[in-house]
Chains A and B, each alone.
Chain A
Amino acid sequence: MTEANPPSRPLDVDSTAVNWKLTGVLVALTAIALFVLDPRSVFAITEVMIFVLFASALNLVLSYSGMVSFGHGVYFGLGAYGIALTVARFDWPIWAGLMAGPVLATIAGLVYGFLSVQLTFIYAGMLTLACAEVTFGIAHQWFSFTGGESGITGYVVTRLGLSPEMFGLTVLIVVTVSLLLLWRIVHSPLGLVIRAVGENPMRAGAMGHNRKTIQLIAFTISGFFSGVAGTLYGVFHGNVFPDYVGAQFTLDGLVMVLLGGLYSFSAGIYGAVIFKLADNIVSHYFELWELVIGIILMSVIILSPAGIAGYVNRLLEHLRRRTHA
């Protein structure tokens, strides 16, 4: 089978740079914001943080491993179904359910990833879509087990009984630690191999790296972190529905990464923040809110193909040069 070359990458994007001081300040400001802002903002921030993790997990696959996933909502949704099913159907304690979400997503990532890496590029992408359809079908139609369309409700006290601020802080900690782990993975020897495979699978293969194995590892890791995000989301709302494993969540994730800017570690962060804020704010004032999101996405892709991350990087570079000049 002929290996398909990944799409060309913008040269002006530093795909790994992280400003640690700025990151620390942002995390601290977020923590403070959770305790000083009104409840509406606290809920919005919490939701944004969960999607930051989901989009960043998806970004690992899209930006670094050279794969396309049209079904990543599955791993997010299985994170939520993991806790819901184990607690509601098998009477597991909550703490075990919290572990079960990411584990279920990881197992699904491993199985579906194994199938998907047998093919490359768009064909692999279509296989991820098929896997997603299978999962959605099970969630939607296995009425007696998954609750079908009505999902599973009331399996856990919403936010585990924590106040909105404390739950927000918990999410902030989990998401920050998860992002640090993702960053560490990207910068580890394994991460370098994943990037090598993503950039040029044939050359990486010639160097002795098995493309299928490396991509499967990346896909499974991404599934795990998507599952963590999904578990948080399931606890946040206290319910789970087939929509969570459906195409809309996958599409939202893809849009977030594209908005944020492919080939940048920050893509998921920028994309999720912009997308969810637009979703939360614009839809309150404008009935055709999806149109607004579409226009924003089109504008970003046309004006800055490297997304918001690319724009921010160029801006920072410009400022740096002016400072040194």
Chain B
Amino acid sequence: MDMRLRVSKIALQLSGVVAALSLVFGVAVAQLQAAEPLKIGYVGGISGVCGSLTPPAIKAMKMATEEINNAGGIMGRPVEVIYRDSKTKPDEGAKQARDLIVSDKVEIITGVCSSSIFMSVFPVTKEYNIPLFSALSGTHKPNIDFFYPGVFQTQPHTIIEGKALAEFTKQKGWKKIVTMAMDYEWGRTTIEVYKDHLAQIDPSAKIVKELWPKFGESNMTSFITATLADQPDAVIAVTAGVTTNSLIKQGKAYGLFDRTKVVAFLVTQTLMDMGTEVPDGIYGWSRAPFNALGTARGADFVKRYRARYDGEYPTDWGVLGYDVMYFIKEVVTRAGNTKSEDMSKAAASFTFDSVRGQLRSRTLDNTLDSPSYIGITKKTPEYPFPILTDVTAIPGSKLLPSEAEVLKMRAMANK
């Protein structure tokens, strides 16, 4: 009996030790798992055509990452962003995305400048069912045409921008329009959407001429003279980079801005680069002008960004880069994991308090109802470069395609 009692006691003690050890081990493992970083891959053109646009986005993303980590990370996991250069080449973008997924084991991918890189990266993330948050490219195709639950858009895409320009045209009462767009995906799609939407909301407005300067065109004189020959009420310009710069410089010489109204894509980076060359009074459309965000969160972001980066002002890409990091944080936290389907549902379950205002996503296409901004250029003593003033923010909720439109476009694309 004594023997049995002794054995029972030893067994009980051993059980206690095992239980204690298990508890300690379990806690340690849990802590280890909790401390495992949440890896996010960034794919974007750090060199190549996008090279001048993405550095501010990366700066803002780094700032957001630090803030998120200082506040405890995402679900207790520190965030680690791995930056990869797509060299603004589609095949390189796809390669880098695949490498981030299979080798670096990232759970989420973001970026992606430009549209063609987005188009090349998204089949890779779709293949591995990894969430992809596009913050820096214009095309709507991955979300509308080739959708899978893991593809998100946080910037205004081509449908939002095309419709915003049409709404602005109607608001101004312009009836005789010349369009001037770079001959590639962004330009073509934006003008296509613009024309369709304008025809619906103001049938009396007519497109009298469509001009298609090639991608990266620097000699705009023939397009300017062709425009002036028609004496339009307004020119809708879907150009960027050197093409916009040339349009402004050469347009001034031909009196373009005195003889008609011009609505050009004037993001902060362009205004910074062009400086005093930009005449006052041009209409500029933009994705996120730092001075016209109109939110307390936006003003706070600009202040902290400037404090951190030697007084530098954040560009549109900077604002979008900052927003996407916090959107990812919110969505992952609400989903409780990084599975595409759960994140899609989570994204649509709340209102995102972005630096651009209160935005909402929807499971239909995982697209935030990002606003599109249109203002007038003006040089002010407050800033060392022209800014957009009297800015109108056209809400994305007014511009996003309806469910029926999305399903129709999706069906046509998958035919």
Chain A residues close to B by CB (< 8 Å): 38-40, 43, 47, 140-141, 143, 147-151, 153-154, 158, 164, 233, 237-239, 241, 243-244, 248, 283, 287
Contact = CB atoms under 8 A, between A and B. Distances in A.
Given A140-B184, A149-B116, A154-B146, A287 B85 contact: yes
B162 to A, nearest CB: 15
B115 interface: yes
B185 A239 contact: no
A143 B188 contact: yes
Contacts of A241: 90-91, 116, 119-120
A39 B146 CA distance: 26
12 contacts: A38-B103, A40-B103, A43-B98, A47-B95, A143-B183, A148-B185, A149-B184, A150-B119, A237-B95, A239-B90, A239-B94, A248-B89
A244 B215 CA distance: 17
Contact of A151 (B46, B85, B116): B116
Given A143-B185, A150-B141, 12 more contacts: A43-B102, A141-B183, A143-B183, A148-B183, A151-B116, A154-B123, A154-B146, A237-B95, A238-B123, A241-B119, A243-B91, A287-B47
A164 B188 CA distance: 36
Contacts of B139: 150
Interface residues of B, number: 31
B122 interface: yes
B123 A43 contact: no
B124 interface: yes
A66 to B, nearest CB: 31
Chain A residues touching B, majority SS: helix
A143 B212 CA distance: 12
A241 B127 CA distance: 19
Contacts of B123: 153-154, 158, 237-239
Given A151-B119, A158-B123, A158-B124, A40 B95 contact: no
B185 A150 contact: yes
Contacts of A47: 95
A67 B87 CA distance: 31
A136 B402 CA distance: 36
Contact of A149 (B46, B103, B115, B146): B115
A237 B91 contact: yes
Interface of B: 46-47, 85, 87, 89-91, 94-95, 98-99, 102-103, 115-116, 119-120, 122-124, 127, 139, 141, 146, 183-186, 188, 214-215
Contact of B115 (A38, A150, A244, A287): A150
Contact of B95 (A43, A141, A248): A43
Contacts of B91: 233, 237, 241, 243-244
Contacts of B102: 39-40, 43, 164
Contacts of A237: 91, 94-95, 120, 123
A148 B188 contact: yes
A153 B103 contact: no
Nearest to B104: A40
Contacts of A164: 102
A181 to B, nearest CB: 26
A140 B379 CA distance: 38
Contacts of A248: 89
B124 A153 contact: no
B91 to A, nearest CB: 6
8 cross-chain pairs, A with B, having the tightest CB-CB distances, nearest first:
A149-B184, A40-B103, A39-B102, A150-B185, A149-B185, A241-B90, A150-B119, A238-B123
A38 B99 CA distance: 11
A40 B99 contact: yes
Contacts of B127: 158, 238
A239 B89 contact: no
A154 B410 CA distance: 13
A248 B99 CA distance: 22
Nearest to B102: A39
Given A43-B102, A237-B94, A241-B91, A153 B215 contact: no
A153 B119 contact: yes
B89 A148 contact: no
B121 to A, nearest CB: 10
A136 B214 CA distance: 12
A133 B91 CA distance: 20
A233 B89 CA distance: 14
Contacts of B186: 149
B98 A243 contact: no
Contacts of A243: 89-91, 116
A153 B120 contact: yes
Contacts of B85: 283, 287
A149 B119 CA distance: 10
Nearest to B91: A237
Contacts of A43: 95, 98-99, 102
A143 to B, nearest CB: 5
A239 B103 contact: no
A237 to B, nearest CB: 5
Contacts of B103: 38-40
B231 to A, nearest CB: 28
Contacts of B99: 40, 43
